Amino acid sequence: MSKQNRNIIFITVTIRATDKLIEKLCQRYSLKKSEVVKLAFHYIDKASINPAEAPEAVKSELAKINKRQDDIIRFIRHYEEEQLNPMIRATNSIAVRFDGIVKSLKTLIFSQLERNQEKYNILLQKISDRFGEHADVINNQGKQINTLYQLMKKDNAKLLKLINLYANLATCGVMDKRKHSAIAIA
């Protein structure tokens, strides 16, 4: 019978002292007793907690955490003073120099543009004046040509009347042919 008792595996564990605590955790987190126990053992295993050692006081644990936080904050401040602040100052000085260069280039470019604009305006004014002079000359020549045309038109009309008169006189026999040819040649 002793062999049979050795092969039996107990699947339940009853601890009367922690029963109320387990019940409380089950109700709080809506878990079964077996799940609470299973999760507790996983936590103990992952956190490498030795259940035989007495737990340290919460205050001492918080003091350790605060000390670690203070160490981290000191490291961050030291890194900030040694590395970040010089980089920020260098970046700021570069930005200030860059702004100065941009402003000076801006004023230089605007002054060049203004000078070029003045030169172009003067050049365009000269071209406009020249075209105006040429237009005036062309208009004056057009007026002169028109005046000459009108004079020639009047002279041609007089000449045609004179030729017509000579022709009429020649047909009447009043004009001598020799005089007529001398007048035509002149």
Give the pLDDT confidence score for residue 183 in this predicted structure: 56
Evaluate if pTM is beyond 0.95.
no
Per-residue pLDDT tens over the stretch 127-150: 999 999 989 999 999 899 999 999
Helix, strand or coil, per DSSP, at residue 83: helix
- In terms of pLDDT, which residue wins out, 59 or 117? 117
179 or 104: which carries more pLDDT confidence?
A: 104
Map out the domains of the chain as residue ranges: 1-55
pLDDT at res. 186: 52
Average pLDDT over residues 78-97: 90
